[in-house]
Structure 1
Amino acid sequence: MLTAARLGAVALTAAVFAGTAAPAFAASASPSAAPLPAGLYGKSDPTYDGVWRQGLSLIALHTQGVTPADSAVGWLTGQQCADGGWPSYDATPAKGCTAATEDTNATAVAVQALVALGGHDAAVSKAVAWYRKIQNADGGWAYNPGSPSDGNSTGLVVSALDAAKTDPATLVGKSGKSGVDGLHALQLGCTAAMAEQGAFAYQPDKSGKLVANDASSAQAALAAGGAFLPVAAPTGAAAPTPSASTAASASASCSDSAAAASQYLAQRLSSGGEHLTSQLAGASPTTDYASTGWAVLSLAGSGRPDDARRAAQWLRDNGAPWAQNNGTPSPAALATLILDARATGLDPHRFGTADLVTQLEATGPTPAATPASSAPAASAVASAPAKTSGSGFSPWWIIGVGLVAGAGIGLFVSFSRSKRG
């Protein structure tokens, strides 16, 4: 979660914003000295985002008709703990998991990946049972079991449950609160300032007040709309969506969780030049690529394709520093961009000058099968002429992007849990 690869690392940044305790971690932040597993996507230290980036990569490649290598799927299933959850990463799975450091966010992405691939019902059922076991009394979930519920973790779990065809309203905590109740309890409603209505907090502050958090909102809004990964590609003519700048529409939808959440995100993107930013205490605002990527998915999943597409186009034109971490491709970022492109009708093979699919394939084991119409190899993309307009993933963007790569990973530094990346 402390690494720039972790898109899912929203929890740490949000904890800083809210003044709450950060989640427990299973390992130190130092790079892993052990050789990386052959089936894993990416070459960076997987300590905090191994399962997260693997799950996102499998989902993204599956949407493009790519059949992943057995080793890639086997690595993900092999990380599942005996009780049904997943850790962020376990270098020695044969030794068993530490229950207190299992990761609800990584588990959520793993579940959605296995549902998308099909044929893993037993593993998915175990994960659902684990979520039921560790659910907090308020109906929500924390990053690690036993901690207070937070907005992005609860949202990710609810999306995973929906993917697993388990109604989150049927999972009820000890106080009679369901997963849906837990999600709604962290959303700012009609009594909040108009500009914050529909946003999700990470956790209540010390006084019990909910404070709008864009990182949590970007992920929780997907669940509020009943959507999960992968978000379906647009079909036919899109219905008109409310203007992000229309105050009347925001006020009218504040009592509708999904509509209010999407309205909040659309407003934040519009006012920010079609992307979100994050800010740590004492630091200047930085571009939050990961949360922008999740906002695209949430808006597309809630029926706001125009708002989603504008943000996806911004990522297409400006997202190379995120996709290339110190010159090394980030699987979680590439996968999120592929899912964004699919959800908004853009071509992930021609995302600016980049072929996201080929780049993601190259970070892991050779796929078992790829579509016959696959786009040119990565070498062809790299040789494409650089654009001088500043749009697209031009090769010049990829040179020396390390100085800014970490700034955007929605964990800022990129939870999504990079996580989630």
Structure 2
Amino acid sequence: MNVRSSAAVLAAIAVIGAAAPAAADSSPSPSPSQQALPSALYGESDPQYDGVWRQSLALLAQHTVGVEPPKEAVDWLVGQQCADGSFAPFRADTGTACDAETMVDTNQTAAAVQALAALGGHDAVTGKALDWLKSVQNKDGGWGYMAGGASDANSTSLVVGALAAAGEKPAEVVKGGKSPQDALLKLALPCDAEDDGAGAFAFQPDKKGELVANADATAAGVAGSLGVGLVVEPGKDKGRSGAADAACEKAKTPEQAAANGAAHLTDALAADGHLVSALPGAEDQPDYGNTADAVVALAAQGATGPAAKSAAWLEKNAADWAAQSGPAAYAQLILAAHATGTDPRAFGGTDLVKKLAATGPAAPAGDASGEKNGQERTDEKEKDDSGSGSGVWWALGAFLVVGAGAGVLVNSRKKRRQP
């Protein structure tokens, strides 16, 4: 696949996830997407690198809390699909067929599958997308961000979530005799790992072939090892209320790797209830997006105590971050709230559902369905004036860290994901 600009290279390598502090734009000129944004798109920042991601998370989050997304927003997402089933971050002209220059990727595709599978009625679209994802599965059982790229924990876990959302059994999707869980096990650090990395997951092996613990990759690895996606239903505590309750053991199974990863996250969150950004120059900044992902992963594992503690921290501190970052950030918080049984309509004094709806297509004037669609009758959408859509600057920053050998990273999520 050919890439035509340095900015495109940076965005292609990183997994889309939560927003990070803005970096300088290396694009030689404004992208086509900056000239006229589709009215059906969530968010007002440039969708060149994260349009499908943020749209997918927004639709998924709304569906999860019982809100029917606007039809035009769903239709826009469906229309972004390429003929081979893959999705690129943003196609300004869907009348022109995708070609070798179109930067499709596994993360946008997997996020779109999770959203459209949840909404229902899009089996043909999700079926083609899954066929494409299976066609680019690596021989180790995993996936990289781009087709043919080395497998990473975040991309592999996002695809696992897509498979599960579509009713398939991820462990049975194999390539070269290897499943996605096999790929994730190879990225799990041993219990005797140094630098407090015991039980964590690495994004990818570094240049020396060594595994470096990464909190975002760990959250993704826990979810992927458990075979779940971006949406996790609140469940009962399985006795893993603290790190001491789940001692690290040799990860011979995906389930043990998930337990080890959850214990690692519990330790990382114990002091302050949040993760800290690992991006250059941001060592002391809270990482809201990765903290939200960690909450979902811990809830999936049954570590409801640590998950609730971090969800409470997000309630008190994440409102400004979400307002600056846009729809994907609101969606991440809604999914974290849902996973812990927290009311997203009263999240630290913020109605996340209302805020997310305000970033999307506005209900027509006089349309009584505004409440049903989660749209407020406002004269204009709530603007994202931060200039950094959730995932765009994160992608650029994450690449710099990965390129430096740290292995730091996403629908998204996820980016996800440290982002």
Whether TM exceeds 0.5 here: the answer is yes
Correspondence list, 1:10-409, <5 A: 10=15, 30=30, 32-99=33-100, 101-173=103-175, 175-193=176-194, 195-234=196-235, 238-244=237-243, 246=244, 249-252=246-249, 254-255=251-252, 256-271=256-271, 273-281=272-280, 284-325=283-324, 330-366=326-362, 369=369
Distance in 2 between the 1:260 and 1:165 partners? Answer: 27
Deviations 1:323-344 (CA, angstroms, capped at 9, x unpaired) = 021xxx6000001111111111
Distance in 1 between the 2:47 and 2:390 partners? Answer: 15
CA contact (8 A) 1:349 1:355 kept: yes
Distance in 2 between the 1:407 and 1:36 partners? Answer: 17
The residue type paired with residue 66 of structure 2 is G
Deviations 1:278-321 (CA, angstroms, capped at 9, x unpaired) = 22346534221111111111111121111111111111111123
Deviations 1:64-107 (CA, angstroms, capped at 9, x unpaired) = 22111111000011111111111111111221224562111111
Instruction: Please state whether the residue corresponding to 1:269 is helix, strand or coil.
Output: helix
The residue type paired with residue 309 of structure 2 is R
Relative to 1, partners in 2 of residues 1:108 and 1:374: Cα closer, same or farther, differing over 3 Å? closer
Deviations 1:117-176 (CA, angstroms, capped at 9, x unpaired) = 011111111111111111112111111112111111111111111111222222222x32
Relative to 1, partners in 2 of residues 1:192 and 1:11: Cα closer, same or farther, differing over 3 Å? farther
Relative to 1, partners in 2 of residues 1:189 and 1:161: Cα closer, same or farther, differing over 3 Å? farther
With the length of structure 1 as denominator, give the TM-score of the two structures: 0.79
Relative to 1, partners in 2 of residues 1:417 and 1:311: Cα closer, same or farther, differing over 3 Å? same
Relative to 1, partners in 2 of residues 1:402 and 1:362: Cα closer, same or farther, differing over 3 Å? closer
Relative to 1, partners in 2 of residues 1:359 and 1:412: Cα closer, same or farther, differing over 3 Å? farther
Q: Which moved more, 1:39-48 or 1:180-189?
A: 180-189
Relative to 1, partners in 2 of residues 1:374 and 1:321: Cα closer, same or farther, differing over 3 Å? closer
Distance in 1 between the 2:34 and 2:392 partners? Answer: 26
Report the alpha carbon displacement of residue 201 of structure 1 after superposing the two structures with TM.
Answer: 0.9
Map of 1:394 onto structure 2: none
Report the alpha carbon displacement of residue 12 of structure 1 after superposing the two structures with TM.
Answer: 9.9
Q: Which moved more, 1:63-72 or 1:47-56?
A: 63-72
Report the alpha carbon displacement of residue 408 of structure 1 after superposing the two structures with TM.
Answer: 12
Task: Give the root-mean-square deviation of aligned CA atoms.
Answer: 3.6
Report the alpha carbon displacement of residue 36 of structure 1 after superposing the two structures with TM.
Answer: 0.8
Distance in 1 between the 2:385 and 2:75 partners? Answer: 33
Map of 1:21 onto structure 2: none
CA contact (8 A) 2:188 2:200 kept: yes
CA contact (8 A) 1:142 1:153 kept: yes
Instruction: Please state whether the residue corresponding to 2:34 is helix, strand or coil.
Output: coil
Report the alpha carbon displacement of residue 257 of structure 1 after superposing the two structures with TM.
Answer: 1.5
Report the alpha carbon displacement of residue 407 of structure 1 after superposing the two structures with TM.
Answer: 11
Report the alpha carbon displacement of residue 239 of structure 1 after superposing the two structures with TM.
Answer: 4.1
Instruction: Please state whether the residue corresponding to 1:153 is helix, strand or coil.
Output: helix
CA contact (8 A) 2:330 2:352 kept: yes
Distance in 2 between the 1:266 and 1:334 partners? Answer: 23
With the length of structure 2 as denominator, give the TM-score of the two structures: 0.80
Relative to 1, partners in 2 of residues 1:96 and 1:226: Cα closer, same or farther, differing over 3 Å? same
CA contact (8 A) 1:53 1:420 kept: no
CA contact (8 A) 2:80 2:94 kept: yes
Instruction: Please state whether the residue corresponding to 2:81 is helix, strand or coil.
Output: coil
User: Unpaired runs of 5+ in structure 2?
Assistant: 1-5, 19-26, 399-409
CA contact (8 A) 2:370 2:377 kept: no
CA contact (8 A) 1:11 1:152 kept: no
CA contact (8 A) 1:197 1:254 kept: no
Relative to 1, partners in 2 of residues 1:353 and 1:319: Cα closer, same or farther, differing over 3 Å? same
Report the alpha carbon displacement of residue 375 of structure 1 after superposing the two structures with TM.
Answer: 11
Report the alpha carbon displacement of residue 184 of structure 1 after superposing the two structures with TM.
Answer: 1.5
CA contact (8 A) 2:17 2:394 kept: no
Matched residues, percent identical? 43
Distance in 2 between the 1:154 and 1:405 partners? Answer: 23
Relative to 1, partners in 2 of residues 1:63 and 1:79: Cα closer, same or farther, differing over 3 Å? same
Relative to 1, partners in 2 of residues 1:44 and 1:299: Cα closer, same or farther, differing over 3 Å? same
Relative to 1, partners in 2 of residues 1:56 and 1:67: Cα closer, same or farther, differing over 3 Å? same
